[in-house]
């Protein structure tokens, strides 16, 4: 596997970084076996990677009878990335090292629906991008609640933001002078799961998010499935009830319109549970107190969600389903009805598919955005497109061609 890229960069170096980044620490012998290259080649390439501060030796692997192998791992300070989650009314910005360590996080109010939102976003990000540290900045990742044509071009259609084919990636690249990758927020979180979370040991899994909206990312054979136009995973617009409420997309009875934040609040107001100015925290408080009307709202939402997830499991046969998002703070009121709703709706061995609920905070969206950049050195599928060369050039300390 002594191969060179068009710019002369050794593909074996990238393959070893990819293996350690996705699979975690392992010995030189394991690397040689996984990549089907000679131990001598691995030794030579690892020596270069260590000299250039990208890989380091960790503790020894447990012995199986012979001499214990020295584990190799990624050096977190070899690079960092900025990640920003764009919501309708605020931004979350994080600075994350190559090993996933969050260095700083920042939240600010932001009107993404206003005019010249892209210009104002660039102005806010400029100070973060220009901050001087000892860890080289590899690029910027941006997570948005909408459809993105591809991460490297970053054209965004986001109804909730009022964006129609906004060339966000190209605009930020020009304004900031750094590599920029843009992606749907749930797909970005799935990339972070692959790199640093439960997805590290999975080839086929689903990420379902509940909160303001309802989202989905499909990871198949180790890659995030994007569809022909980047729109795969618009689970929130799954037609759940033809007689249901009007959705922001213009259709009736979408899953998001029923179980998303606004759907839950509408149900609570119709049940006269909430007074003017009260929000989701009040509904959760009432459910915690055992109010039957409040618990019934969550139970109905959980049942509707379970039907959609059952369909996904039946069609896609994932190893695991990971549920996360702001809405999981009240999962205790969803869980029983959700799991009961799955029973009898999933065929064969797929009915035993594990469902994992992940803890959540708002920075997870932004960490997912940063992971778009940080995954680039570990990505052999090329999802970063033309931006990959610029990210790799920064990692290797050279100028992009």
Write down the pLDDT at residue 47: 92
Q: What is the pLDDT of residue 63?
A: 53
Among residues 17, 381, 3, 54, which one has the least CA distance to residue 220? 381
Alpha-carbon distance of 218 to 316, in angstroms, equals 9
Q: Is the dihedral of CA 357, 363, 365, 370 positive or negative?
A: negative
Q: What is the pLDDT of residue 65?
A: 55
Query: Can you give the residue ranges of every domain in the chain?
Result: 11-74, 79-191+363-395, 203-318+326-357
Indicate if the pLDDT at residue 11 is higher than 60.
Answer: yes
| Mean pLDDT computed over 176-180 | 97
φ, ψ at 60 (rounded to 5°): -75, 145
DSSP 75: -
Mean pLDDT, rounded, for 57-75:
73
In terms of CATH architecture, what is 11-74? Orthogonal Bundle (1.10)
pLDDT classification of 362: cutoffs 50, 70, 90: confident
Check residue 157 and give its pLDDT.
95
Class of domain 79-191+363-395 as given by CATH: alpha beta
**Stated pTM of the model:** 0.87
Under the banding of pLDDT at 50, 70 and 90, the label for residue 379 is: confident
CA distance 169 to 175: 10
Check pLDDT > 50 for residue 194.
yes
Burial 258-277 (b: 16+ CB within 10 A, else e): bbbbbbbbbbbeeeebbeee
Task: State the DSSP string of 131-148.
Answer: ---SSPEEEEEEEESSEE
pLDDT of residue 66: 56
Span 202-226, average pLDDT = 95
Per CATH, domain 203-318+326-357 is 3.40.190.10: no
At 237-277, the pLDDT tens digits run 999 999 999 998 889 999 999 999 999 999 999 999 999 89
Tokens of 164: 């129609």
Query: What is the model's pLDDT at position 10?
Result: 58
Mean predicted lDDT score pLDDT of the chain: 90
Q: Check if the beta carbon of residue 195 is closer than 8 Å to that of residue 371.
A: yes
Residue the block writes with tokens 């989650």? 85
Q: Please give the average per-residue pLDDT across 209-215, as a whole number.
A: 95
* pLDDT the model gives residue 4: 41
Q: Residue 8: pLDDT band by 50, 70, 90 thresholds?
A: very low
Helix locations, 36-142, DSSP H: 39-51, 117-130
Contact between 380 and 369 under an 8 Å Cβ cutoff? The reply is no
**In sequence order, what are the residues at sequence separation of 6 or more whose Cβ sits closer than 8 angstroms to the Cβ of residue 232?**
218, 225, 226
Confidence grade of residue 21 (pLDDT, cut at 50, 70, 90):
confident
Q: What percent of the chain has pLDDT over 90?
A: 71
Q: Sorting pLDDT into bands at 50, 70 and 90, what band is 137? A: very high
Q: Could you check whether 11-74 and 79-191+363-395 share the same CATH topology?
A: no
Give the pLDDT score at 401: 37
What mean pLDDT comes out for the span 281-300?
97
Kindly report which listed range (38-52, 62-76, 86-100) carries the lowest average pLDDT score.
62-76
- The residues near 67 (Cβ < 8 Å, ≥ 6 apart) are none
* Residue 61 to residue 17: CA distance in whole angstroms: 19
In which band, very low, low, confident or very high, does the pLDDT at 102 lie, cut at 50, 70 and 90? Answer: very high
């Amino acid at each position: 596997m002594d191969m060179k890229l068009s710019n002369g960069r050794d593909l074996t170096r990238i393959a070893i970084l990819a293996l350690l980044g996705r699979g975690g620490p392992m010995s030189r012998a394991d690397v040689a076996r996984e990549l089907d290259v000679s131990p001598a080649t691995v030794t030579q390439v690892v020596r270069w990677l260590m000299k250039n501060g990208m890989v380091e030796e960790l503790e020894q692997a447990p012995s199986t009878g012979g001499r214990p192998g020295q584990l190799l791992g990624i050096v977190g300070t070899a690079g960092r990335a900025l990640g920003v989650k764009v919501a309708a009314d605020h931004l979350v910005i994080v600075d994350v090292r190559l090993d996933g360590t969050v260095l700083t996080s920042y939240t600010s109010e932001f009107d993404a629906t206003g005019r010249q939102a892209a210009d104002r976003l660039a102005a806010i990000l400029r100070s973060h991008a220009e901050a001087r540290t000892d860890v080289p900045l590899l690029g910027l990742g941006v997570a948005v609640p909408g459809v993105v044509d591809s991460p490297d071009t970053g054209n965004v259609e986001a109804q909730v933001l009022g964006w129609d084919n906004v060339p966000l990636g190209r605009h930020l690249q020009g304004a900031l002078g750094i590599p920029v990758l843009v992606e749907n927020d749930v797909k970005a979180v799935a990339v972070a799961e692959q790199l640093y979370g439960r997805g590290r040991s999975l080839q086929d899994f689903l990420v379902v998010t509940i909160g303001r909206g309802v989202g989905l990312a499909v990871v198949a054979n180790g890659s995030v499935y994007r569809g022909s136009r980047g729109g795969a995973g618009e689970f929130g617009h799954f037609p759940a009830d033809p007689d249901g409420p009007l959705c922001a997309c213009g259709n009736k009875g979408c899953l998001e319109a029923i179980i998303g934040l606004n759907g839950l609040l509408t149900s609570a107001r119709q049940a006269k549970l909430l007074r003017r100015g009260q929000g989701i925290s009040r509904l959760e408080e009432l459910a915690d107190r055992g109010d039957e009307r409040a618990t019934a709202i969550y139970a109905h939402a959980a049942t509707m969600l379970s039907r959609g997830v059952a369909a996904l499991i039946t069609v896609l046969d994932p190893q695991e389903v990971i549920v996360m998002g702001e809405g999981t703070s009240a999962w205790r009121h969803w869980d029983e009805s959700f799991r009961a709703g799955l029973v009898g709706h999933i065929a064969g061995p797929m009915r035993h598919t594990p469902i994992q609920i992940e803890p959540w905070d708002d920075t997870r969206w932004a960490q997912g955005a940063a992971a778009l950049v940080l995954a680039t050195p570990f990505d052999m599928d090329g999802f970063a497109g033309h931006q990959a060369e610029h990210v790799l050039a920064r990692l290797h300390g050279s100028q992009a061609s």
